[in-house]
Amino acid sequence: MFQSPEYCKTLSLKLSEVLDDVGVNEEMVMKRRRIFMLSESLATITCRSCGINETEYYLGSQSEGTTTIELDSDLDMVLVDYDYNVIQDWAEWEQNKKNLLMIQGENVTPGYCFLQLLQSDEPLFETNIPDENYIRDSIGRILLRNTLVTPLIEENVERHGPSNAFSGDNGYSDNDIVIAFPCDSKLQSVSLFLERPGVMRWLSSECVRYSASCVCFVVGTSSKIATYPELEWRISTSLPERCLMFNLNITQLQCYVLMKIILKSFVNAQNVRVISSFMCKTVLLHCIENTEQNIWKRDNLFTCLSYCLLELRSCVQNENCPHFIISDNNLMAGQFTAEEKRDVLQKLCDIIQSDGRFLLRISMDNISERLQVKLSTIVHFACSFQTSLEIYEQWSSNLFISFMKQISGWLLLIFNYLSNGLICNPKQIILKLKYYSVEGNRLEQLASRYLAPFLCSTLGLIMASSSIGQNNPVQYEALKWLTLGLNSDVTSGRLKLASMFYCAGDMDRAEFILRQTKSRYNSTVVEHVCGCWELPGESRSAEFQRKCSELSENCINSITSCCVIFMQTEVNCVPRELRYEMMRSTQDDLPYRSMNEKSWMDHAVVDSLPYLYFLQYKTYGHLQRHQDQQLALSNLVKVTFTGRNFGHKETALNLLGQCMEQADKPRAASQCYLLSLQQRERNNAAKFHICNLLRKYASNM
């Protein structure tokens, strides 16, 4: 079967080139994996530093690199709650945890389990039902319902800043957030899987060691054929599965992507997922296990794809697709009706029998058009699709922006923990991050070096605010911390330092920092990032996208500029005009805050470039440099009305309005406030400014 004729070899090579061009190539796959693993490390060290007993994993096609722009796969986020402890042996019981005994066997679908509650103070069966999340079965066991995870998901979506950082808009992926409980027990199915000859021949020794030692999860979902659907929990081996995917070569990854494209284009009509991408992945892994590795090469891609499609058809025909690791778990059990089965089989047969002609009917990612260009002998061919370089630049920039949004989200979580007294001082987090920057793995070291400078600026500003509030000079230690935060990104650390100098009355040093910051902000390269909420219609400059494609993940903060966030403990380092943003909400406004807005609306948050020009305007005014002051005002007007990707335009308009008031232009000021209210009708400090403006008018009458 694998002795491909010459035309299959040519087709395979050209098809592989097409997939290279749409982003399924070694370079893009590795870049995606590094960024997502870095994001995962960022989440882990932040949770640990804040005392949150959870670990966040980013799984699935986005983090594997097995997707395309139009395939638009989900990002699977797994939040593992370590307050729970799932065990198979009483020796694994832990005091003061919610211990759950895994029960498999009779009345439980293979690959699933029941969870029996144990006492938290001593290793005994629990005999009392704690709440409505538990039920007593016919033999007296207290079992946990899988519906428990729904309120947990809602709680985590609200509490975790980055949970909205990868929304479906603007090229980012949708989130599929799953709450899981850890199981450190060594599952027999994992041990048996690692002993299979085909697996041992294929996997690296490092992957084998990792798969044998890594934690498994239980997830609150039942099988399609469950006898007791509200009590079944799926046993997840997501981490070993990710390790398997990371061991695939590029031809195997391209084969998997093609299978998913075929499913979406031909098989799963009207978005009904009769066959899931996980089934395709499982079929692929079985095919790899049962063949020699030298089969999986670029000039054999089409033959490998045909083999996988034949195996998929066989699975559908027999209604049996064994889970690759937990082989007793049939992924297709109860998955489709007889009519759906006939329909899927017919479509798969048509695809297989077309001898590759189906590839010329794939419109997704312009696969058909690209393939025709590759196969054509015509030199001039009108192409309407993106080049491979454009796709690489687009994806690279999306990855960089998404990562900086993750940082913003985690910072907001930390700031809210500080504001609510759950953390005493940013210094305790900084010290923990310092530990990870030295003792952590490579990704933890890099993640801590991204996050720590933002917290250094915050710590320095809190200390400076305390000194200014007591009419004391700013301490050297505060300046030291602020200096350590200068390179958090292109602007925000420096703007915090300039804001402190301005509020301390040191206009010369404030002006110097602002001038230095402006020189660093190359608007053709640097892009602003707002992690507070998702912006409609975000766009990126061509030069920024080019830089993202050229730079590694070590340089993300050198071409991005984040919002400047001030907590109320930093208030004395915040100009009076911006302090109104900390009081943006009346009692009537509070119910109109969205879930995401709750994380930042009690702080003063401003986009960096408008704030830079506002501070320049104020500073030059104090220095009696009126020409420079007018230039700063012109720049503030320009960026407020034409700037891209600003998430707090209403705040910029409020600052501009107050500048207009101070320039004795009340009509222009009122227009700014009214425009601000058009941007955000509720929870907007513009209401206070309008009232103040009317009061001034009334007092002058």
pLDDT score recorded for residue 7: 85
Scanning the structure block, which residue is given the tokens 């992924």? Answer: 331
Q: Under a CB-based contact definition with an 8 Å cutoff, are residues 173 and 166 in contact?
A: yes
What does the DSSP assignment read for 445-461? HHHHHHHHHHHHHHHHH
**CA distances (Å), origin 651, targets 432, 605, 634:** 34, 8, 17
Look at the chain and count its residues: 701
Cα–Cα distance between 238 and 263 in angstroms, integer? 22
498 C-beta neighbours (distance < 10 Å), count? 28
Q: Are 597 and 489 in contact (CB under 8 A)?
A: no
Of the three residues 370, 385, 400, the one that is the final residue of a domain is: 385
DSSP state of 329: -
In this structure, the dihedral spanned by the alpha carbons of residues 643, 644, 649 and 653, taken in order and rounded to 10 degrees, is 10
Q: Burial letters for 634-666: b for 16+ Cβ neighbours within 10 Å, e otherwise?
A: ebbbebbeeeebbbbbbbbbbbbbbbbbeeeeb
Put residue 12 in one of left, alpha, beta given phi > 0 → left and psi -120 to 50 → alpha.
alpha
Residues of the chain falling short of pLDDT 50: 1-3, 154-174
Alpha helices in 277-425 (DSSP H): 277-289, 301-318, 338-353, 367-375, 388-419
Distance CA 223, CA 112 (A): 8
CA distance 477 to 625: 32
> Across the chain, which distance is largest between two alpha carbons, in Å?
95
- Whole-angstrom Cα distance, residue 208 to residue 194? 7
Q: Is residue 539 part of a domain?
A: no
Q: Give the CA count within 13 Å in the CB-facing half-sphere of 104.
A: 18
Q: Which amino acid is at 545?
A: Q
Q: Which two tokens stand for residue 106?
A: 């009779």
Identify whether the C-beta of residue 216 lies closer than 8 Å to the C-beta of residue 237: yes
Last residue in a domain, options 385, 408, 430: 385
- Position of tokens 């302090």? 579
* Residue 148 placed within a domain: no
- For the chain, the C-alpha Rg in angstroms (whole number) is 29
Long-range interactions of 117-122: CB distance < 8 A, separation 24+: 117/142, 117/143, 117/144, 118/87, 118/93, 120/95, 120/96, 121/95, 121/96, 122/95
In contact, 145 and 230? CB cutoff 8 Å:
yes
pLDDT of residue 178: 87
- List, for residues 598-620, the tens digit of each pLDDT value: 889 999 999 999 999 999 999 99
For residue 409, tell me if it sits in a domain.
no
Can you say whether residue 51 is alpha, beta or left, with left for phi > 0 and alpha for psi between -120 and 50 degrees?
left
Domain-located, residue 670: yes
* Cα separation, 149 vs 584, whole angstroms: 34
- The Cα–Cα gap between 13 and 9 comes to 6
Is 198 a member of any domain? no
Helix (H) and strand (E) counts in the chain: 26, 14
Range of 18's domain?
A: 1-24+249-385
Taking Cα atoms as reference points, which of 54, 57, 236, 230 lies closest to residue 148? 230
Distance between first and last Cα of the chain: 94
pLDDT of 168 reads 41
pLDDT in tens, 339-362: 999 999 999 999 999 989 999 999
Distance CA 399, CA 86 (A): 35
What's the half-sphere exposure (Cβ side, CA atoms, 13 Å) at 652?
26
476, with CB counted inside 10 A (0-12, 13-18, 19+), is exposed
Task: Please provide residue 528's backbone torsions phi and psi, each rounded to the nearest 5 degrees.
Answer: -80, 145
Look up the CATH number of the domain holding residue 325. Answer: 1.10.1410.40
For residue 667, with 0-12 CB atoms within 10 Å meaning exposed, 13-18 middle and 19 or more buried, which class applies? exposed
Would residue 258 count as lying in a domain? yes
Q: Of 174, 211, 215, which Cα lies nearest the Cα of 81?
A: 215
Residue 71 · residue 364 · CB < 8 Å: yes
DSSP readout, 542-602? HHHHHHHHHS-GGGGGGSEEEPEEE-GGGGGGS-HHHHGGGG---TTTGGG--TTGGGTTT
User: Is 300 part of any domain?
Assistant: yes
Out of 385, 410, 434, pick the residue that ends a domain: 385
pLDDT of residue 697: 76
Number of domain units in the chain:
2
Taking residue 494's Cβ as centre, other Cβ atoms within 10 Å add up to: 26
- Kindly list the distances between the CA atom of residue 210 and the CA atoms of 75, 201, 237, 239, in Å, as whole numbers in the listed order: 23, 16, 12, 9
Count Cβ atoms below 10 Å from residue 107 Cβ, excluding itself.
12
pLDDT at 188: 87
Q: Which tens digit of pLDDT belongs to each residue from 225-273?
A: 999 999 999 999 999 999 999 999 999 999 999 999 999 999 986 656 7
3-class DSSP state for residue 118?
A: strand
- The DSSP 8-state label assigned to residue 51 in this structure reads T
**Beta carbons of 612 and 517 less than 8 angstroms apart:** yes
Query: Is 499 part of any domain?
Result: no
